[in-house]
């Protein structure tokens, strides 16, 4: 029986939030598709923190929401990001 390659199994995208540079974070949701998780992260940024957002260099083109997990940060330490996790 052939073994699966890492990252080839089922996965979810988790949306995470951290306030003001603290060590604790909150999982806001889990999504089956990257575009849905990124859309929610972007919506939160526009809705709550419309000024002062910086996006990670990994997300150079925000229109390409299907390619890379989104992350944004504010100058006062609030962060929101998407992580991919394999389901076992």
pLDDT tens by residue, 54-70: 565 444 444 555 688 99
Q: How far is CA 78 from the centre of its chain?
A: 13
Nearest to 33 by CA among 16, 14, 59, 17: 14
Q: What does the domain layout of the chain look like in residue ranges?
A: 11-49+67-86
**Residue 46 pLDDT grade (very low, low, confident, very high; cuts 50, 70, 90):** confident
Percent of the chain with pLDDT over 70: 68
Handedness of CA 43, 33, 55, 16 (dihedral sign): positive
Question: Which has more confidence, 12 or 76?
Answer: 12
Q: What pLDDT score was predicted for residue 20?
A: 81
């Amino acid at each position: 029986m052939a073994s699966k390659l890492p990252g080839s199994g089922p996965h979810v995208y988790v949306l995470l939030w951290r306030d003001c540079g603290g060590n604790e974070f909150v999982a806001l949701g889990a999504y089956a598709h990257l575009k849905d998780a990124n859309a929610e992260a972007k919506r939160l940024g526009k809705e709550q923190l419309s000024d002062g957002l910086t996006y990670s260099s990994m997300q150079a083109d925000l229109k390409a929401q299907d390619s890379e997990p989104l992350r944004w940060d504010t100058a006062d330490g609030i962060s929101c990001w998407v992580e991919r996790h394999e389901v076992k």
